[in-house]
Amino acid sequence: GSISTFSESDDVYKQFIYGYHYDGRKRLVEKKIPGKGQESMVYNTLDQVILTRDANQGAGQWLFTKYDAFGRVVSSGIYSGENDRATLQGVVNAQTVLWEKRVAGGIGYDNLSFPEVSSISSYHVINYYDDYSFPENTFGEPSGSQMKADRVKSLLTGTKVTTLGTANMLLSVHYYDDEGRVIQSKSENHLGGKDIIDNTYNFAGELTASTRSHTTGSTTTEIANRYFYDHMGRKIATLENINNKGEVVLSQLDYT
Tell which residue, 32, 26, 77, 71, has the closest CA to residue 51.
77
Residue 208 maps to a domain: yes
Residue 201 maps to a domain: yes
Contact indicator for 229, 235 with CB cutoff of 8 Å: yes
Query: Per-residue confidence at 31, pLDDT binned at 50, 70, 90?
Result: very high
Range of the domain at 195: 189-256
What kind and span of H or E run contains 85?
Answer: helix 85-93
The rounded percent of the chain whose pLDDT value lies above 70 is 98
Residue 76 maps to a domain: no
Residue 8 maps to a domain: no
Total structural domains within the chain: 1
Residue 216 maps to a domain: yes
Q: What is the pLDDT of residue 52?
A: 97
Q: What is the pLDDT of residue 1?
A: 54
Query: Per-residue confidence at 4, pLDDT binned at 50, 70, 90?
Result: low
Distance CA 60, CA 146 (A): 45
Residue 209 maps to a domain: yes
Quick: pLDDT tens for 107-135: 999 999 999 999 999 999 999 999 999 99
Quick: pLDDT tens for 178-189: 999 999 999 999
